[in-house]
A = this chain, B = another copy of it.
Amino acid sequence: MTKRANIYLALLHYPVYDKNERVVSTALTNLDIHDIARTAKTFGVGKYYLVTPLRKQQILAKRILSHWRSGFGAQYNPKRKEALELVAISDSLNDVCKDIHSHWGLKPKTVITDAKVFKRSIGYLDLRKLIKEGSQPYLLLLGTGWGVTNDVINDSDYVLAPIRGDTQYYHLSVRSAAAIILDRLLGMK
């Protein structure tokens, strides 16, 4: 019996800040789709949602996905196909939560990383244990641009500390951050 995946990812292209703290929709990045899908598949994530309200961006995402799922890419690289089958396109974070709710009969607990400390702050090991219990779905939110809006952070159920090394530099790509977070929560050590 395969264990039912109870962790999900959403890469938010909206609502996020730009460099000047305006709320914007960012553009999709081809490699965010590929790299994070491969990471998600490696760690047994249930679904990886690309969230954008922009129709043209959704059409672009669909074109990329169909190339690798059923077009030339699927034959050229079947392993890539497997990973990209995890990807779903969604209009909003709200729609993502509804989709997970419809599978579980439960709203997912949302998880975000932020440098500030909140009452809902949780350590990686503690969240790892909660996920392992398996009875509750969790949705890890990843931002693009200059990060998700304060509203999204304030509405999230859990807050993880951002990934740091022993340096004053902490500007990982979202692809690298996603890989490390999933390894900490789900990796086999």
Compute how far the CA of A31 lies from the CA of B44 in the bound complex, rounded to whole angstroms. Answer: 25
**Known A-B contacts A124-B189, A180-B180; A167 and B44 likewise in contact (beta carbons under 8 Å):** yes
Compute how far the CA of A136 lies from the CA of B80 in the bound complex, rounded to whole angstroms. Answer: 39
Flag A139-163 by CB within 8 Å of B: 1 or 0 each: 0000000000000000000000001
Which chain A residues (60-89) contact chain B, with CB distance < 8 Å?
79-80, 82-83
Q: Are B175 and A35 in contact (CB under 8 A)?
A: yes
A22 within 8 A of B: no
- Of A35, A165, A169, A189, most buried by chain B (CB within 10 Å of CB) is A165
**Known A-B contacts A79-B171, A175-B175, A187-B180; A166 and B38 likewise in contact (beta carbons under 8 Å):** no
